[in-house]
Amino acid sequence: MTASYWRSWMGNFFVTDNGAVAPTDYDPFSITAPVDRRLPGGGGYKIDGLYDLKPAKFGIPAETVFTSSSKYGDQTEIWNGIDLTVNARPGAGMFVSGGASTQKQSTNNCDVVTKLDNPSTLFCDVSGTFQTSIKFLASYTIPRADIQLSTNFQNLPGPEITANYVASVAEAQPSLGRPLAGGARNVTIPLIEPRSMYGDRMTRIDLRVGKILRYGRLRATPSVDIYNLLNASTVLGQSSAYATWLRPQSIVPGRFAKIGLQLDF
């Protein structure tokens, strides 16, 4: 058995800044999230930290600058994790291997974004949540009968849930005090803090059954593999657009079987 804790951090970040405009060229505004029981707290909360370019600056040719974020301030990305692995042979012909891994990503670029062209600090500091993956592999050969059994077990975190809401100019104008710049009719707003909500966990079991047949120096092993034994239909990906929010876009492939033959000579 092995247990370990690890911590890693990233550096040398880069940003793209439009030198033709400054943070002072943006006006702050806010919107109210729609009432929806699927949103945190049932929705209806206020979303601050939004900015819209002033109309006088709209349409000015961009002066794009790609440079190190350290010129503007501190930016961090830190991972913390714990891994636990097990390798065991509890008996003759038996083998078990696997373990669990949990990790969390934390990011902060608040010091940087306030100095770029769009100074929005919305979700600039995200601590994240620990996500745990569990995987095990086991095999056993039945003595005398020469029957091989093996299974693969996985229990993995669900997909991250995000929601992008298209707010109309009528929703932004009361706090902005004017229409959106450039005559825009809407603006897309994230409703959920990144890495704070996840879908259902995925549990999958694969099974293999094989029979060893001996013919002198030749050994044949016909086998049957059954994937997704429990026929799980867990969602792997879903829509982030609020108009079709949480609509499944991909699921775990259904249960299926494969027949194989291995020859050793």
In order, the DSSP letters of 206-224 are: EEEEEE-EEETTEEEEEEE
Q: Give yes or no for residue 93 having a pLDDT over 90.
A: no
Dihedral of the alpha carbons of 27, 39, 124, 32, in degrees to the nearest 10: 10
Pick the closest to residue 172 from 185, 159, 156, 190 (CA basis).
Answer: 185
| HSE-CB for 217 with a 13 A CA cutoff | 1
Which residue, chain included where needed, has tokens 């940003």? 15
Give the global pTM.
0.87
Give residue 64's pLDDT.
Answer: 93
Q: Please give the Cα distance from 64 to 120 (Å, whole number).
A: 18
Pick the closest to residue 26 from 116, 121, 118 (CA basis).
Answer: 118
Q: Where are the beta strands (DSSP E) in the chain?
A: 2-9, 14-18, 26-32, 46-53, 64-68, 76-88, 94-108, 125-126, 131-142, 147-156, 164-168, 186-190, 202-211, 213-215, 218-227, 235-238, 248-251, 256-264
pLDDT tens digits for range 53-88: 999 999 999 999 999 999 999 999 999 999 999 999
Give residue 91's pLDDT.
Answer: 87
pLDDT (average), residues 235-262: 96
Give residue 76's pLDDT.
Answer: 97
pLDDT tens digits for range 203-242: 999 999 999 999 988 999 999 999 999 999 999 999 999 9
Mean pLDDT of the chain: 96
Q: What residue type is 70 in one-letter code?
A: S
Q: Please give the Cα distance from 124 to 154 (Å, whole number).
A: 33
pLDDT (average), residues 191-211: 97
Give residue 187's pLDDT.
Answer: 97
- Tally Cβ neighbours within 10 Å of residue 238: 19
pLDDT tens digits for range 115-133: 999 999 999 999 999 999 9
**Beta pairing, strands 131-142 & 94-108:** antiparallel
